Amino acid sequence: MLRRMMGIDSIFFCQRNVLDRKKRTLTITAWNESFDNRVKVEEVCKYWADGENMTKFTQEAKLTISSFWGFESTVEKLMIRQYTVRMKRH
């Protein structure tokens, strides 16, 4: 449904990986390039070493829907549901 409304076949995301060897951290930031004038998605994942054998992880995601022809709340619910389903798989 959303693809038909937007008139696109795929959405492109960019990703930036920052490795800090001194602090023993990896920060991965991903955001959408396609259709970002209507829907913006940003996700930040952080990994860090805690002791010798323990790796910790945090994840944050931000969704901003600025204009979607009056269907903003519907699109928001669909996107959050899909994101949640995909995160449970991993």
What is the DSSP annotation of 1-68? -HHHHHT-S---EEEEEEEETTTTEEEEEEEE-TTTTTEEEEEEEEEEE-SSS-EEEEEEEEEEE--S
Looking at residue 42, its pLDDT comes to 92
Average pLDDT, the chain: 82
Residues whose CB is less than 8 angstroms from the CB of residue 80 and which lie 6 or more positions away in sequence, other chains included: 63
The list of the chain residues with pLDDT below 50 reads: none
In percent, the amount of the chain with pLDDT more than 70 equals 82
Looking at residue 76, its pLDDT comes to 75
Instruction: Give the integer Cα–Cα distance in Å for 28 and 63.
Output: 17
